[in-house]
Structure 1
Amino acid sequence: MKISKEIKVAILVLSGILLFIFGFNYLKGQNILGSSRTFYAVYDNVEGLAASTPVTINGLPVGKVIEIGFKGDGSGKLLVKLLVDSEFQFSKNSKAELYETGLIGGKAIAIIPAFDGAENAINESYLDGGVKAGLSELVNQRLTPLQEKIEKMMHSADELLVNLNDVFDDNTKSNIKTSLGDLKTIISNFKETSKSIDVLVVSNKDKLDSTLSNVDNISSNLSKISDSIADANIGKTIKNLESTLQNFDKILIGLDKGDGTIGKLLKDEALYNNLQNASKEMEELLRDIKLNPVRYRRILSKKEIPYTKPESN
Structure 2
Amino acid sequence: MSKEIKTGIVAVIVIAIFIWGYNFLKGQNLFDTNTRNFQVEYSNIAGLSTSSLVTINGLKVGKVTSIEFNKNITKKGHLVVSFILDNDFSFSKKSIVKIYSPSPLGGSNLAIIPEYEGENAVSGDVLKGEIESSLFTSIGERLDPIQAKLEHVIVSADSLFKNVNNILDIKTQKSLKNSVKSLEFTLNEVKKTMLSVNGLIDSTSVNLKESIKNTKLITDNFSRVSDTLANANIGEIMRKAEVTLTSANLLLEGIHSGKGTLGLLVTDDKLYNNITTMSKELENLLREMKLNPKRFVHFSLFGKRAKSYSPKKETE
So what's the TM-score if we normalise by structure 2?
0.51
Q: Call closer, same or farther: CA 1:109–1:185 in 2, change over 3 Å.
A: closer
Partner of 2:80: 79
Q: Say which SS state the counterpart of residue 68 (structure 1) adopts.
A: strand
Report 1:172-191 matches (<5 A). 172-177=172-177
* Conserved? CA contact 2:46–2:99, under 8 Å: no
Aligned to 1:130: 130
Instruction: Please name the residue that 1:36 is paired with.
Output: 35
Question: Distance in 2 between the 1:65 and 1:21 partners?
Answer: 18
Tell me, in whole angstroms, the C-alpha distance in 2 between the residues paired with 1:112 and 1:122. Answer: 16
Q: What does residue 63 of structure 1 align with?
A: 62
Identity %: 37
1:45-65 deviations in Å (ceiling 9; x for gaps): 224111111111112221111
Paired position in structure 2 for 1:159: 159
- Distance in 2 between residues matched to 1:166 and 1:108, nearest whole Å: 59
Determine the C-alpha separation between the residues in 2 that align with 1:92 and 1:107. 23
- The 5 Å alignment of 1:155-234 reads 155-177=155-177
Considering only aligned residues, what root-mean-square deviation do their CA atoms show, in Å? Answer: 3.1
Residue 24 of structure 1 aligns with which residue?
22
Distance 1:181 1:111, change over 3 A: closer
For the residues of structure 2 that align with 1:141 and 1:11, how far apart are their CA atoms?
Answer: 60
CA distance in 1, matches of 2:107, 2:14: 38
Displacement of 1:24: 2.6
Distance in 1 (CA, whole Å) between partners of 2:163 and 2:110 is 55
1:152 shift after superposition: 2.5
1:129-157 CA-to-partner distances (Å, cap 9, x unmatched) read: 22222222211221112112212322232
Looking at structure 2, the residues matched to 37 and 23 of structure 1 have their Cα atoms a distance apart, in angstroms, of 19
Pairwise CA distance, 1:170: 0.3
SS at the partner of 2:173? Answer: helix
Report the Cα distance in structure 1 between the residues aligned to 2:145 and 2:137, rounded to whole angstroms: 13
Structure 2 counterpart of 1:92: 93
**Which residue identity is paired with 2:53?**
P
Q: 1:169–1:123: structure 2 CA closer, same or farther, 3 Å change rule?
A: same
**What runs of 5+ residues in structure 2 fail to find an aligned partner?**
190-316
Give the SS at the match of 1:172.
helix
Counterpart residue type for residue 24 of structure 1: Y
Deviates more, 1:70-79 or 1:177-186: 177-186
What secondary structure is seen at the aligned counterpart in 2 of 1:166?
helix
Partners in 2 of 1:185 and 1:5 — Cα distance? 113
- Shift of residue 23 of structure 1? 1.8
- Look up the match of 2:222: none
Mapped to 2, the partners of 1:186 and 1:57 lie a distance apart of: 72
Code of the residue aligned with 1:142 in structure 2: it is R
SS in 1 for 2:148: helix
Q: 1:120 to 1:170 in 2, by over 3 A?
A: same
Decide whether aligned partners of structure 1 residues 49 and 178 sit closer, same or farther in structure 2, where only a CA change above 3 A counts: closer
Closer, same or farther: CA 180–62 of 1 in aligned 2, 3 Å: closer
Pair 124,174 (structure 1): closer, same or farther in 2 beyond 3 Å: same
Residue 164 (structure 1) shift: 2.6
CA distance in 1, matches of 2:131, 2:183: 68
- Aligned partners of 1:127 and 1:23: how far apart in 2? 28
Cα separation, 1, equivalents of 2:88 and 2:183: 89
Q: Distance between the aligned counterparts of 2:111 and 2:79, measured in 1?
A: 17
Taking structure 1 as the reference length, the TM-score comes to 0.51
143 and 176 in structure 1: CA distance in 2 versus 1, 3 angstrom threshold? closer
User: Against the structure 1 CA distance between its residues 172 and 72, is the aligned structure 2 distance closer, same or farther, given a 3 Å change threshold?
Assistant: same
The one-character-per-residue Cα deviations of 1:252-311 (angstroms, maximum 9, x if unpaired) are xxxxxxxxxxxxxxxxxxxxxxxxxxxxxxxxxxxxxxxxxxxxxxxxxxxxxxxxxxxx
Residue 177 of structure 1 deviates from its aligned partner by 4.6
Describe the shift of the 1:125–1:166 C-alpha distance in structure 2 as closer, same or farther (beyond 3 A). same
How many correspondences in the alignment? 184
Q: Aligned-pair distance for 1:82?
A: 0.5
AA partner of residue 84 (structure 1): L
Is the contact between residue 37 and residue 123 of structure 2 (CA under 8 Å) also seen in structure 1?
Answer: yes
